[in-house]
């Protein structure tokens, strides 16, 4: 079945460092891809998304490009802030009946001042 694999954490960076969180997926169809973020004590919220190959999703300085040839959707940010400390989840939606979302295991990011 469909699945998502993302790099294990935690990832610890200093403020203003460059961030990459790797994500690859396996899917039989043509999924939509997402990054969700979870701040402490809260539910998940959508960070960005892409619906087809070569689409780039972006929000709050974060970017990810839908790479069908490498089945990847890596999250990047050029300069992280302490407020970016959270858990990041890569996910796909199967775009079929149920529109179920399948999540990766999550990557915890710590940003130090």
Partner 1 sequence: DAGITQSPRHKVTETGTPVTLRCHQTENHRYMYWYRQDPGHGLRLIHYSYGVKDTDKGEVSDGYSVSRSKTEDFLLTLESATSSQTSVYFCAISESTGEGTEAFFGQGTRLTVV
Q: Does 106 bind partner 1 (CB under 8 A)?
A: yes
d(CA 14, CA 100): 36
Q: Of 19, 27, 44, 75, which lies in the binding site for partner 1, with binding defined by CB under 8 A?
A: 44
Buried b (16+ CB within 10 A) or exposed e, 21-35: bbbbbebeeebbbbb
Nearer to partner 1, 46 or 82 (CB): 46
Nearer to partner 1, 1 or 113 (CB): 1
Residue showing tokens 């169809």: 29
Q: Does 56 bind partner 1 (CB under 8 A)?
A: no
Q: Does 52 bind partner 1 (CB under 8 A)?
A: yes
Kind plus residue range of the DSSP H or E element containing 12? strand 11-14
Residues that bind partner 1 (CB under 8 A): 1, 4, 32, 34, 42-46, 49-52, 89, 93, 95, 97-106
């Amino acid at each position: 079945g469909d699945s998502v694999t993302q790099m294990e954490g935690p990832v610890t960076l200093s403020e203003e460092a460059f961030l990459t969180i790797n994500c690859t997926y396996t899917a039989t169809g043509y999924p939509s891809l997402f990054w969700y973020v979870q701040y402490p004590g809260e539910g998940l919220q959508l960070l960005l998304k892409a619906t087809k190959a070569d689409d780039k999703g972006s929000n709050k300085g974060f970017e990810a490009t839908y790479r069908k040839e490498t089945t990847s959707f890596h999250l990047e940010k050029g300069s992280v802030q302490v407020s970016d400390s959270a858990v990041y989840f890569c996910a796909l939606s199967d775009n079929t009946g149920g529109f179920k979302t399948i999540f990766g295991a999550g990557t915890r990011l710590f940003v130090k001042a």
